[in-house]
Structure 1
Amino acid sequence: MKPFVYRFERKLGLVRQEEQAVRQELHLLMMERDRIVEELDHLQLRIHGLEEIIRNYQGNWLVPEAGLCKEYLPIVKEHFLHKTDELLQAEERVEEARNRVIEKKRETKTYEKLRENDWQDYRYELNREEQKEIDELAMAAEIRNVSRKGTGS
């Protein structure tokens, strides 16, 4: 019998490669999102530090550091809001990439299931052919035994 050949083997390989590429893209997007989260944490700490400095020098505005902190605080808060928007966009990109990974995984599983079904069909046909050969050999042996008994008596 001919060897097993899966008709969509090339397509299965391509789908697996596409799935791997989408997974890699998801990984990169998640790293970008995590970087933004770290920046937000850093900005949050900076805001708290500036607010603490302003509170410490609240009564004494002659200290130049307090005045600079008071002027710098709105800029840092604006940057924080910008980073928050950036985080939301990064979360959306991560979610879209996750959906693409799920879609590619389903496609891969579909082709793998088709391959498994083709393999089962191949095994069934192979077993049928083997059984057919065994039956033919058994019939040939039986015919020889019958013909020997018939001529030998």
Structure 2
Amino acid sequence: MKKIIIGLDMDIIPGRSIGGISLGDYDKDIIECINNKYVIEKYSFNNQLGSYALYKIHNGAISFTSDEQGVIIALWCEPPYKGSYKRKLYPGITALELKKISKTQEIIKGYLVIDKNFFIYYGMPDNIDDFNSFSDIDDKTIFNELYVGNLI
């Protein structure tokens, strides 16, 4: 087992990690490293592709999904996570703030991509279902789920 330092205020690394947890890590290693520091909830689910586990750390501040071998294949954060990417992108940001700090915003595969960085992206809020472009979204809309991965 490799030693992993986990924190709820660490920098987010696009395409790789949140809070010290990385895509490709093993879920059992993460659980061992947490060792009662945070509350962990585990849920199991199946779909046509296989069996998976969903872990939520500290009320979902960091969440990840692992496959049947225990490899982390999806990773995201939500408030109360306090870390960010370049002090610019973080969970709980408003649409207005995103408009101010970015040149482009586009929806790719159901996720919001900022400035064509396909390695860090936002999940769309549940209450958004009818819009033609990002500029149609109300400035007060909050984007809570921030993912790392690869949408290319």
Determine which structure has more spread, i.e. the larger CA radius of gyration. 1
Structure ranking higher on relative contact order (CA contacts 8 Å, 6+ apart)? 1
- Normalised by the length of structure 2, the TM-score is 0.16
- Normalised by the length of structure 1, the TM-score is 0.16
Q: More strand by proportion, 1 or 2?
A: 2
Q: More helix by proportion, 1 or 2?
A: 1
